[in-house]
Homo-oligomer: A and B are copies of this chain.
C-alpha cells in the first residue's frame, strides 16, 4: 500500500501466536507479510476487528488471517489469532512488523557514532548506542545503553537519556534534561527551553532565568514539534507512560501524571498539574496554576480555566454552523445576560398574575 518498504518482513501465524501470546484457530503455517484494515487487506495480510461496528466488513475481507475476539471465532472461516483485546494484540503485532524492518534511523553503521557527530569527551555513551550524523552531545551528558539519537539532534550539557530511548532527527534537549528508559522523542521537539517568565518593572519585562530542568519518566513519547519548558526553580515533570502528540506545549513547572495522553496542539500553561490516566483532547488549552484530578477527559478544543476535582468528561466551545446563522447567534449571545434578565421580568409578571403565587 505504501510502496516505501523494500524488504517486507513475514511471519507464520504460529510465530505470531508465540510473539503475541494468543492462540491460533486454523492453519498455523499461514504466512503473513503485513497488517491491513479489514477494507484494505489482501492475501498475505493480517487484519483485525477491534470495533464491533465494522463486523459487517468481515465477510468481504480478503485478509489471510484475522485478529478476533474468541466470541466471534465461530463466525469466520479464515485462520485467526484469538484475543480478548484485539486492538492491543494488533498494536503488539504492528510493533513486531515495524521491528522487523530496518531501523527508522540510519546512523551509518549500527551501534556506532557517526564520524560527523560532535560528542564531548566529558559525555558518557552506553553500550550499543547509535549516534547519527551531525549530532551534538555536550559535556556531562549520559546516553543509556541501546539508545539511538537521530541526525542533527542536540543533547545539551548534563542531559541524561535512559536506556533504549529513541530520538528522531533534529530534536533539541537543553542542558540538564532527564529522559527515562524507552522514551521516544519525535523530530522538531524541544525539551528544556526556558519557561516564559518575566517580572514587569513598569517599563519593561525583566527576564526570570529558568533554573529548573525537565524530567521525563520511562516510556514517555513526545510528538513532533512539541515543547516542554524547563522549570523556573523546580523541574517540569512528565511521569512514566505519558503520551504527548505533535505541537503540544507544556509550560514551566507543570506536572503531568503517569499514563496521561495529550493530543495534538494542546497547551498547558505554567505550574498546572494534570492527574494520572487523563485524556486531553486536541487543541485544548489549560490555563496556569490549575489542578486536574486523575481520569479527567477533556474534549477537543476545550478551554479549561478552573481546577477539576471530579473524574469525568468535560467540554467547552460552540457548535459549527453555517456562518450567517452562527453570526446571528453569536451576536445574540453577546447580549445573553440581558435576555436572561428579560425572561426573569416576564416570569415575575406571570407570577404576579398567578393566583397560586399571589396569596
- When C-beta atoms are compared, the residue in chain B nearest to A244 turns out to be B196
Q: Is A91 an interface residue (CB 8 A)?
A: yes
Q: Tell me the bound Cα distance from A150 to B36 in angstroms.
A: 36
**Do the beta carbons of B106 and A114 come within 8 Å of each other?**
no
Complex contacts, A133 vs chain B, CB 8 Å: 118, 134, 136
Of A10-18, A22-30, A74-82, A327-335, which binds chain B? A327-335
**Do the beta carbons of B1 and A212 come within 8 Å of each other?**
yes
Q: Tell me the bound Cα distance from A223 to B174 in angstroms.
A: 13
Q: Is A176 an interface residue (CB 8 A)?
A: yes
**Do the beta carbons of A196 and B314 come within 8 Å of each other?**
no
Complex contacts, A156 vs chain B, CB 8 Å: 104, 106, 169
Complex contacts, A321 vs chain B, CB 8 Å: 314-316, 334
Q: How many copies does the complex hold?
A: 3
Q: Is A140 an interface residue (CB 8 A)?
A: yes
Q: Is A92 an interface residue (CB 8 A)?
A: yes
> Per DSSP, are chain A's interface residues mostly helix, strand or loop, or mixed?
loop
Q: Tell me the bound Cα distance from A169 to B169 in angstroms.
A: 13
Q: Is A181 an interface residue (CB 8 A)?
A: no
**Do the beta carbons of B188 and A169 come within 8 Å of each other?**
no
- When C-beta atoms are compared, the residue in chain B nearest to A341 turns out to be B332
Interface residue tally on A, bucketed by range = 35 or more
Out of B2, B154, B188, name the residue touching A190 (CB < 8 Å). Answer: B188
**Do the beta carbons of B37 and A234 come within 8 Å of each other?**
yes
**Do the beta carbons of A343 and B339 come within 8 Å of each other?**
yes
Q: Tell me the bound Cα distance from A233 to B4 in angstroms.
A: 12
| Cβ distance A100 to chain B, nearest Cβ, rounded Å | 10
**Do the beta carbons of B319 and A315 come within 8 Å of each other?**
no
**Do the beta carbons of A332 and B340 come within 8 Å of each other?**
yes
**Do the beta carbons of A211 and B337 come within 8 Å of each other?**
no
| Cβ distance A9 to chain B, nearest Cβ, rounded Å | 11
Complex contacts, A219 vs chain B, CB 8 Å: 204
Q: Is A59 an interface residue (CB 8 A)?
A: no
Q: Is A152 an interface residue (CB 8 A)?
A: yes
Considering the complex of A and B, which 3 residue pairs feature the smallest CB-CB distances, nearest first? A4-B176, A98-B209, A91-B199
Out of B6, B208, B285, name the residue touching A283 (CB < 8 Å). Answer: B285
Q: Tell me the bound Cα distance from A40 to B234 in angstroms.
A: 8
Complex contacts, A168 vs chain B, CB 8 Å: 172, 174, 193
**Do the beta carbons of A283 and B300 come within 8 Å of each other?**
no
| Cβ distance A77 to chain B, nearest Cβ, rounded Å | 23
**Do the beta carbons of A199 and B85 come within 8 Å of each other?**
yes
Complex contacts, A31 vs chain B, CB 8 Å: none
Apart from A168-B193, A188-B225, A314-B320, 20 more pairs, CB < 8 Å: A95-B207, A133-B134, A134-B136, A136-B169, A152-B172, A154-B169, A188-B190, A196-B245, A205-B261, A247-B267, A251-B264, A283-B303, A303-B317, A314-B322, A315-B321, A315-B327, A315-B330, A317-B317, A328-B337, A342-B347
Complex contacts, A200 vs chain B, CB 8 Å: 88
Q: Is A130 an interface residue (CB 8 A)?
A: no
Out of B5, B150, B196, B259, name the residue touching A223 (CB < 8 Å). Answer: B196
Q: Tell me the bound Cα distance from A245 to B334 in angstroms.
A: 30
Q: Tell me the bound Cα distance from A88 to B303 in angstroms.
A: 30
**Do the beta carbons of B323 and A299 come within 8 Å of each other?**
yes
Q: Tell me the bound Cα distance from A199 to B261 in angstroms.
A: 12
Q: Is A275 an interface residue (CB 8 A)?
A: no
Q: Tell me the bound Cα distance from A208 to B99 in angstroms.
A: 12
**Do the beta carbons of A5 and B343 come within 8 Å of each other?**
no
